[in-house]
Structure 1
Amino acid sequence: MGGISPNKPAATCVECLAWGVLPGSCCRACYTFRQLHGQGECAACRRIVPINKGHCRLCWLQALRDAKNVGQTHVTEPFLLAVHHQQLFFARMHRDVYRVPGRQRLGKKGTRGLAPPPAPATPRNADPNWAQPPLPFQAGHDFSRFDRRRHADLANPTLVRARQAGRALAASRGWGRWVAKDVDRALVVLLSNHTGDEKIRFTELAPALRHHGLTIERTVDVLTDLDLFHDDKTPAFDRWLDRKLGPLTPGIRHDVEAWLRVLHEGGPRVRARNPETAGGYLNHIRPLLLGWSDRFRHLREVTRQDVLDATDTLRGSNRHITLCVLRSLFRHCKKTGAIFRDPTTRIRPNRVEQTTILPLRPEDIHEAINAATTPADRLAVVLATVHAARSKDILSLRLDDVDIGNRRLVVAGRVRPLDDLTRHAVLDWLDVRRNRWPHTANLHLLINRLTALKSGPVSRVWITRAFWGLTATLERLHTDRQLEEALTHGPDPLHLTAVFGIHENTAIRYADAARHILETDAERHHPSSP
């Protein structure tokens, strides 16, 4: 039903006969009653109106009044059968008309007043300094049973502060209207009964928010800013260790796990390595460890001959890397006292000759260009082929690294001229970014639907997925661009260092590869050559 005009005159409801300014031919209550019940003949007043259990709304109100006059709060069948007359009333005032004198109304759900709170029972000879001792375990919260109509406490101080922080964080990070609304609903679920001194654990909030279909990560951001979040989930590195080291015998697994944790987290006088280092090291020697687990119970049983037998079947860089990883593992075990003698001592990895850098074929480059079907992929291809940007450099680019007006681009800290091809690719991507995420606060040039709500870069997988399985990946395109520069301007390491900012040893390697290619081509096209 629509609103009521202020100039509309009073009238009588055609169903309950109430007098007042009505939105239509009947009052709002009768309109709702009509939507819920069908037409019929009332058993008391004999009118053809909407009825519920044989009686119209007017007779139900009269029976309710008769019931309340004798102290009852619900209408029973004897009161309905005893209705032979109706007391008329003004529209939207029947609650006040039917109110029993002396009783205080409590909202719209009844007329019974609140019972006085019981007096606290004070035991005799009670110690005034006594306090309830803490429980020996930490009781959890079951937020999945939350009912907003019954449990929501919007006046809770912690909830009020969290909702304000959520709105501020949404404005600073450019969250959309629906994301901000979901975060606000999640905060109401988690903090309606919060006491102000407890932290919400991840294992408690995650099932509840999944049950209600609300965002978890954005809610965790708000709780973290307020220091109300405790991350008690199992770290991803621990889950990875359990999955990879599960088949190993307990003795070998203990030593390998300790070594991997030192690589990942660092230790006394040992710096933490790149997060991908531990995974790469374990993948190289895991087949050997699985074979040793069938024969040995501990790494101290592995001999020098076992290491030689395991690596003799390997060739080239695979053998070199495997021996280096085994040396790292057994040196750690010897340092911590897990083994008595290092079996990799005096086993020298073979010197691996560096492979010759060769240029990509034109068809490989065209294949990579055709695989770049999105503006983000096309921009990545342009940055790799024109500016020799590595995938890490592409992910790290920020909006202020691109100066369209002055036609400048900063790649890996070096200022480069912005050519027409790169400029068009950047403008195409900026149009997509502006239309899809107009309110994002992420300053990175490349973003997706996940990082648009954060402040960090996209993942390496997201930007390289389109080129998986191709010969011309982003890294190969980056290498081909530097080799092309050496072939075009001559094999000069100083020129390569000045243009791309690479290390002098890398520049020398590219210069040697270019010199070798140029000399081979010269010999092939020399008139005296066969």
Structure 2
Amino acid sequence: MLLYYGLAPTYAQPLKKYGRRTVGGRERLHWVEHIRAAAAAPTRDDPAVLPPAVRGQLPLFPVRRMLSVDICRRILQRPLAGYADVVEHTAAFATETGISKPMQRKLHEMLRLALAVRDADDLVDELVLNDIPNYVRSVRAILLRAGMLRTWEEPPEPQGRIQPLPARPPRRPPRPRRRATPRSCEHCGCWFSAASLVVCMPCAAFAGLERTRLEASMGRCERCRRASLPLADGRCRGCRTHVATHGRAAEPQSWTQLWFGPPLHVRVHGRRRDNDRPASARNPVSEYLAVPGQQTLFEMRRDWRAVAKLGQQDLPALTDSAEQLLADLDSAIKEQRWTEVPATKTRRTLRILMSWLGADAPVLESDIQALVETRHKVSGRRVTQFLEARGLLTPDPEFRRDTHQMRLEEELGALPQTIAQELRAWIKVVRDEGTWEHAGRSYRSIFRYFHVLKPIIQGWIADGVKSLREIDRADIETAIASRKGTPARYIHIVLRNVFRALRQERVIFRDPTRGLVFAGIKTIPPSVPSDRLAGILSHAKDDFQRFVMVLVCVHALSGTDIRRLLLTDLDLSRERLVVRRHGKRHIIYLDELTYHCASAWIRERHRRWPATTNPHLLINRWTAVDTAHPVIGTNTFSTVFRPTGLAMPTLRQDRIFDEAFDVEDPLHLMRLFGIAAHTAMRYINAAHPERTAKLPR
């Protein structure tokens, strides 16, 4: 119905309401009561109202809660720990004070509010009572009877002789209390919470300290150029703190770090500034403990330089869970029999992390890497694996990438942009990410190809080549002719692989390696004099080196075969060793020397690492405790054969060559050493050249 100002339509009639009834002599409408009842109907447990607090989480700014009876009615069915005990104490309190039943129900509502807004522990902070709308004194008395109230600690009284106070003037009426609000310090610019202060407490203490001891005065800072600040040695407190935290490299800068609250403890010229503490309180529990479920306000990487020079006695105290975690690490070190140096570095790293972050929440892998980059004599890899095995690590994908992939990206970044893009297209094809389907290679294999390709690319760049489209057949032949033998063969294989991939992806118009044939390499395997082979096992220092020498010099195993041997491949009861090669197996029947060396190594392996889970037959002190179960590195074999003066491939080829002199059957070489047919024929032809000589016509 429309109503016009000053006009009343004669045909307007009142709206008919159904369900009229008379209550107390007054006629009321039933639909009005229905709407009011529906509006007043509470939600028994609304999760959006007073969500549970996270244990140990500190508020960024103190803000009062707006509590009311309506909020209490929306959480009537929420289970609250300790509420049943509070109801019993309310009944006892009602008996002593004589309050009525309706009053008890109202107290129950206020108590429910107090229990709902408390922290994640079992006590209610006394400051919470200021937010309760009604019956604060009664609620406080009931919580005290139940032992569920954390009272506000009064400041301690001064010790020593108390001087008599002078006569005070007549007391003035109390001023209204001002609420603490967040504000910025006028001296250092940090954000803090106060009611009437304009500078933070460390700046106020700095001004009084420097005026009395260093005879400083108010003036303009030499670094930030701000005026009317208390100075010491020509600089304000904010600049001195910033330079002391970030090092001498921050001196030419004119800006300072933004601090939240009072700045951290820093040392300036050997003296502790800002918030000096007595010696008895230097090692409390860290206030930066990681809280489970707490989200980050800013995605920033921690800077551990401030704690890089602290000793063990200067670190914060450990929590109970952190001490238990360090005890677990000590048990793992004792059980797996770590050596002294890795054990000391790992325990020091975990001690620093647990002192500042605690063991209640997972540790970021980026924090561990940042600590390792900042401080010496720490170990990040073993700590990462130890925490990951216990579910206390948040992995970072940046540190989980393949090392060869990161090295490839670094190498490509140093090349011209056009050539780098073309090589990235080649890598995609080799990784089976291109247009055509391929077998797919690992980044380790691709990096080996790039190691052969890099000097050729650098030579082309020096000649003024800006793209691989400029390369023709003559450039390919020149690159191959720069080497001889096997290196030249490798260059031909790599260049053919690169340009075929670029042609498939249509990066280049024509493949310059198409139809280019490289002649086969026919070289005679080297032969080692007998006097150099005599006493070669005497150079072995332990059972590990002796076993490796026997596998190479007797059974002609390659480094790849030895590194991939599993513990289950060695069967001493049947006196045999299984070598797995690309889907096929080669069985070695152990002779007496190999059997004794293998059994001695097995006993040594079990004595040193009885609890290791690495399945490989040959392990060292690093791979034994690594949860990723890697194989031993190739540098290990260089260390084993360096005292002999001979290379490992040379000894292996000499063993096959010596066997080819005794027998003229290539099938015998294939069964004994598990080599291919063309390889066996190459050794037979080298040992017996008369068999391949052409008869005269």
Q: TM-score, normalised by structure 1?
A: 0.61
Q: Distance in 1 between matches of 2:657 and 2:295?
A: 73
**What is the aligned partner in structure 2 of residue 509 from structure 1?**
682
Residue equivalent to 2:551: 383
Q: Out of 609, 618, 621, which is 1:446 matched to?
A: 618
Alignment of 1:357-396 (within 5 A): 357-366=525-534, 368-369=536-537, 371-396=539-564
Matched, 1:211 2:369: no
Seen in structure 2, the aligned counterparts of structure 1 residues 470 and 78 have a Cα distance that, compared at 3 Å, is farther
Aligned-residue sequence identity (percent) comes to 26
Higher helix share: 1
TM-superposed deviation, 1:187: 6.0
Residue of structure 2 aligned with 1:351, choices 519, 528, 544: 519
CA displacement at 1:448 relative to structure 2: 1.8
Structure 1, residues 341-400: CA drift from partner, whole Å, max 9, x if none? 333333x13312332335432134248545544432222111112222222222233444
Contact 1:388/1:482 (8 A) holds in 2:
yes
- Letter of the 1:285 counterpart: L
Q: 2:394 aligns with which of 228, 240, 244?
A: 228
Q: Structure 1 residues 75 and 245, CA, compared in 2 at 3 Å: closer, same or farther?
A: farther
Asked if the contact 2:657/2:683 (under 8 Å) is kept, the reply is: yes
Compute the displacement of 1:512 (Å).
3.3
Deviation at 1:239, TM superposition (A): 4.4
Q: CA deviation at 1:439?
A: 4.6
Query: Could you say which residue in structure 2 is the equivalent of 1:273?
Result: 441
Note if contact 1:448-1:458 (Cα within 8 Å) is conserved in structure 2.
Answer: yes
Deviations 1:120-157 (A, max 9, x none): xxxxxxxxxxxx9986x62334466679964644358x
CA distance in 2, matches of 1:164, 1:212: 23
Say which SS state the counterpart of residue 453 (structure 1) adopts. coil
| Structure 1 CA distance for aligned equivalents of residues 541 and 280 of structure 2 | 60
Could you tell me which residue of structure 1 aligns to residue 300 of structure 2? 139
The one of 154, 157, 178 equivalent to 1:72 is 157
SS of match in other structure, 1:416: strand
Partner Cα separation in structure 2 for residue 401 and residue 340 of structure 1:
50
Specify the code of the residue in structure 2 equivalent to 1:251: T
Deviation at 1:462, TM superposition (A): 0.9
- Identify if the C-alpha distance between structure 1 residues 201 and 75 changes in structure 2 by more than 3 Å, giving closer, same or farther: farther
Amino acid at match of 1:424: H
> 1:337/1:484 Cα in 2 relative to 1: closer, same or farther (>3 Å)?
same
Q: How does 1:11-50 map to 2 (within 5 A)?
A: none
- Tell me the distance in 1 between the aligned counterparts of 2:306 and 2:359: 13
Shift of 1:497: 2.7
Aligned length: 393
The aligned residue for residue 8 of structure 1 is: none
Give the secondary structure class of the aligned counterpart of 1:387.
coil
Supply the distance in 1 between the matched residues of 2:622 and 2:328 (Cα, whole angstroms): 21
Q: Which residue of 2 aligns with 1:462?
A: 636
2:418 to 251, 258, 269: 251
1:339 equivalent among 487, 508, 522: 508
1:420 aligns with 2:592: yes
- Paired with 2:459 and 2:519, the residues of 1 have a C-alpha distance of 26
CA distance, structure 1, for counterparts of residue 691 and residue 643 of structure 2: 30
Question: Do the aligned partners of 1:388 and 1:481 also contact (CA within 8 Å) in 2?
Answer: yes
Distance 1:75 1:242, change over 3 A: farther
Q: CA 1:396–1:133 in 2, change beyond 3 Å: closer, same or farther?
A: closer
Answer with 1 or 2: which has the greater Rg: 2
Q: Kindly indicate whether the alpha-carbon contact (under 8 Å) linking 1:441 and 1:452 is maintained by their aligned counterparts in 2.
A: yes
Alignment of 1:473 with 2:647, yes or no, is: yes
* SS of equivalent residue, structure 2 residue 554: helix
Contact 2:623 2:630 in 1 (8 A): yes
Are 1:201 and 2:365 an aligned pair? yes
Q: Does the 8 A contact of 2:500 with 2:511 survive in 1? A: yes
Does structure 2 conserve the Cα–Cα contact (< 8 Å) formed by 1:264 and 1:274? yes
Distance in 1, matches of 2:587 and 2:468, equals 52
- Structure-2 change in CA distance of 1:167 and 1:228 (3 Å): farther
In the alignment, the residues of structure 2 paired with residue 247 and residue 71 of structure 1 have an alpha-carbon distance, to the nearest angstrom, of 65
Given that residues 165 and 222 in structure 1 are in contact (C-alpha distance below 8 angstroms), is that contact kept between their aligned partners in structure 2? no
Alignment partner, residue 354 of structure 2: 188
Cα pair 1:174 1:440 within 8 Å, conserved:
no
Q: What is the deviation of 1:450?
A: 1.0
Q: Identify if the C-alpha distance between structure 1 residues 400 and 326 changes in structure 2 by more than 3 Å, giving closer, same or farther.
A: closer
> How has the CA–CA distance of structure 1 residues 245 and 469 changed in structure 2, closer, same or farther, with 3 Å as cutoff?
farther
Q: For residue 469 of structure 1, report the CA deviation from its aligned partner.
A: 9.7
Unaligned runs of 5+ residues in structure 1 are 1-69, 80-107, 111-131, 521-530
Say whether residues 1:497 and 2:666 are aligned partners.
Answer: no
Per the alignment, in what secondary structure is the counterpart of residue 618 of structure 2? coil
User: Aligned AA for 1:450?
Assistant: W
- 2:432 touches 2:438 (CA, 8 Å); kept in 1? no
Residue 360 of structure 1 aligns with an amino acid whose one-letter code is V
**Letter matched to residue 625 of structure 2:** L
**In 2, distance between residues paired with 1:312 and 1:503?**
29
Q: Secondary structure at the match of 2:320?
A: coil
Q: Which deviates further from its counterpart, 309-318 or 277-286?
A: 309-318
Deviations 1:234-292 (A, max 9, x none): 75335423554455322112212442454467655233325443233223332331122
How far apart are the structure 1 equivalents of 2:460 and 2:452? 14
| One-letter code aligned to 2:557 | A
Structure 2: segments with no counterpart, 5+ residues: 1-154, 165-278, 282-293
Cα distance change of structure 1 residues 392 and 302 upon mapping to structure 2, 3 Å threshold:
closer
Describe the shift of the 1:251–1:392 C-alpha distance in structure 2 as closer, same or farther (beyond 3 A): same
Q: State the partner residue of 2:468.
A: 299
Aligned counterparts of 2:484 and 2:328: Cα–Cα separation in 1: 59
Q: How far did residue 519 of structure 1 move?
A: 8.9
User: What is the CA-CA distance between 1:212 and the residue it aligns to?
Assistant: 7.9
Distance 1:309 1:149 in 2: 63
User: Structure 1 residues 400 and 309 mapped into 2: Cα distance closer, same or farther (>3 Å)?
Assistant: closer
Q: Counterparts of 2:335 and 2:352 in 1: how far apart (Å)?
A: 19
Shift of the 395–285 alpha-carbon distance from structure 1 to 2, 3 Å rule, reads closer
* Greater mean alpha carbon deviation, residues 265-274 or residues 490-499: 265-274
Contact kept, 8 Å, 1:154 with 1:188, in 2: the verdict is no
Return 419-428 or 173-182, whichever deviates more: 173-182
TM-score, structure 2 as length reference: 0.48
Name the structure, 1 or 2, with higher relative contact order (CA <8 Å, separation 6+): 1
| 2-structure distance, mates of 1:241, 1:445 | 31
Instruction: Provide the rounded CA distance (Å) in 2 between the counterparts of 1:510 and 1:150.
Output: 68
CA RMSD of aligned residues (A): 4.3
Shift of 1:193: 7.0
Equivalent position amino acid for 1:300 in 2: R
Q: Which residue of 2 aligns with 1:115?
A: none
Q: State the secondary structure of the residue aligned to 2:447.
A: helix
